Amino acid sequence: MKNKIGLLIAILLLGYGLVRMGVGGALLAQTFEIVNYSELTEATLEVKQFVDTRASEQIIPFTLTGYFTYILVMGILLAIGAVGTIARKRWGFILLWIYLSMHGALFINFQEINPKIIVLALQVILLFLLTYLRPPKLLN
């Protein structure tokens, strides 16, 4: 049962990683004018306003393209890390911790705490649970 709950957590993290990859990739494609959807234009403008408003407060300034690339990389790390945890590989857990570090770094960089920190806290809890419920297999 413990293993099945851990597998469910890993699958949920994989799904969330795929969503992040899709959103980051779509917004990046919209920014490069590879696609042109009004919904993505609206989302892109909202993020641009957020980044521009906090331009003077950022530790490392993000361009819109840089921000969307960062989000895409986070999604890739999350998805690949989740696959690694499904296979019970140590590198999967490492990638998930790198992803969580990148997520936390966004709050530090923008010097803002918003409701998305609840998602980060939940993911930290899930990763600790996953490590307990479905630890990586040790090499023989």
How confident is the model at residue 138, as a pLDDT?
Answer: 80
| Residue 17 domain-assigned (yes or no) | yes
Quick check: is 7 in a domain?
A: yes
Residue 32, both tokens: 């490069």
Rounded-to-integer distance, Cα 57 and Cα 51, Å: 10
pTM of the model: 0.93
The number of beta carbons lying within 10 Å of the beta carbon of residue 128 is: 10
Give pLDDT, residue 140: 44
In a domain, 109, yes or no: yes
Phi, psi of 38 (to 5 degrees): -60, -35
The verdict on residue 55 lying in a domain is yes
Residues spanned by the domain of 129:
2-133
In a domain, 140, yes or no: no
In total, how many domains does the chain have?
1
pLDDT the model gives residue 136: 92
In a domain, 139, yes or no: no
What pLDDT score was predicted for residue 99?
Answer: 98
**How would you write the pLDDT of the chain (140 residues) with one tens digit per residue?**
888 999 999 999 999 999 999 999 999 999 999 999 999 999 999 999 999 998 888 999 999 999 999 999 999 999 999 999 999 999 999 999 999 999 999 999 999 888 999 999 999 999 999 999 999 988 64
Does residue 72 lie within any of the structural domains? Answer: yes
C-alpha span between 11 and 37 (Å, rounded): 30
Residue 64 is assigned to a structural domain of this protein: yes
